[in-house]
Homo-oligomer: A and B are copies of this chain.
């Protein structure tokens, strides 16, 4: 049986799970791949720490990255080190040395996937682990749904933020308490910024969009908002009107215009993606032939992510890879990104105002002036005396009109807090 030599750069949570599973499920994986895998070298910063993490599982360790990159016997490099710049350099060198590349690094791919595809030529690049952890969503878009024009993606791509939102919704917790709990349980990093502010989900959405549309966009090109501003008041409104709030990665194509955005979103509680709770991920794909399909599973965790890394190893051993991003020929048409200000959506708006006559009429006047009409309204007493809590949703409006209205609210002396909006997806 053929044997492939593997080098791993970064033997952390995912890397050590790869080592473990390759050993534990050896017979099965060889039977599927038609090859054996030999763990040649793992590169780490701290050998003692890595040994502790590996426990009984073994891979020769080194602190010198060239022990992998310059080793001509190594066929496949697993880039599991994280970060953008250095990881890109490693990926480039790997390909330039003629070695196959597997990476789980969404932040790096968000910027460099098209360059890497270019550099690779016929050399395989696997990146199933970069989006949706153990869910084989990369293959699904490249291969399984290949005959479909993708009309829309609606995806929960970050388990940490989904856990926080689920706790807030189901157990009435504040954002701060839910985040603290996620950290205590190990679902959130000590610095959870990229999970919370939407950038992790944004990187993943961009990778999916390149598979679905062939579009080369980077995080700076698209609207990305996080979940930091969400309060229990917003959850209360969601419950009252049959919604849940999810951090959604959204792609929406109409003719030659594509919307790509990541933000908290009110969605119908009964749609399949609305049922994805806790740390789980889910990707709903709307194709022109297949209709809606949905892919659900663990979006993070060592073993789930390693499951995807090894699926790429099997594909490389089978020699059944196609071009990295799934297009043999470029389909670069006139597809252009829609500017955020032109988004059409329904909106939910939260306002705290003085509780006195005439305020509502001012608010209503501003909405009317900006062509915005109200769909549902919930006014509840605020815990502070003299303060009214106005929660309402609008019919479909233009983002720029909404922003103008919110700016006008802010300038009213009767409005006591920065107005907050959440987009609604039907």
* Nearest CB in chain B: distance from A10 CB, A: 19
Alpha-carbon distance between A90 and B293 when the two chains are bound, in angstroms: 32
- A58 CB-CB contact with B under 8 Å: no
Query: Of the 9-residue stretches A111-119, A232-240, A327-335, A362-370, which lies at the interface with chain B?
Result: A327-335
- A8 CB-CB contact with B under 8 Å: no
Contact between B303 and A289 (Cβ–Cβ < 8 Å)?
yes
Q: Which of B143, B149, B291, B307 contacts A297 (CB 8 A)?
A: B291
Is the interface on chain A under 10, 10 to 19, 20 to 34, or 35 or more residues?
35 or more
Query: Of the 9-residue stretches A20-28, A183-191, A216-224, which lies at the interface with chain B?
Result: A20-28
Knowing A144-B128, A146-B29 are in contact, say whether A307-B289 is a contact too (CB < 8 A).
Answer: yes
* Nearest CB in chain B: distance from A321 CB, A: 7
Contact between B330 and A31 (Cβ–Cβ < 8 Å)?
yes
Alpha-carbon distance between A287 and B35 when the two chains are bound, in angstroms: 21
Alpha-carbon distance between A315 and B287 when the two chains are bound, in angstroms: 18
Tell me the A290-335 residues at the B interface (CB within 8 Å): 290-298, 301, 303-304, 306-308, 310-311, 313-315, 318, 320-322, 326-331
Q: Which of B32, B275, B289, B293 contacts A146 (CB 8 A)?
A: B32
Knowing A314-B147, A322-B320 are in contact, say whether A304-B327 is a contact too (CB < 8 A).
Answer: no
Knowing A136-B144, A144-B139, A272-B275 are in contact, say whether A290-B315 is a contact too (CB < 8 A).
Answer: no
Would you list 23 pairs from A and B whose C-beta atoms are within 8 A, ordered by A residue?
A25-B288, A28-B149, A31-B328, A31-B331, A32-B326, A32-B327, A33-B328, A134-B289, A136-B139, A139-B143, A139-B144, A140-B144, A143-B311, A145-B307, A146-B310, A146-B311, A275-B275, A287-B307, A290-B298, A290-B303, A290-B304, A294-B297, A320-B320
Give the top 5 A-B pairs by smallest Cβ distance, nearest first: A136-B144, A34-B328, A293-B297, A134-B290, A147-B310
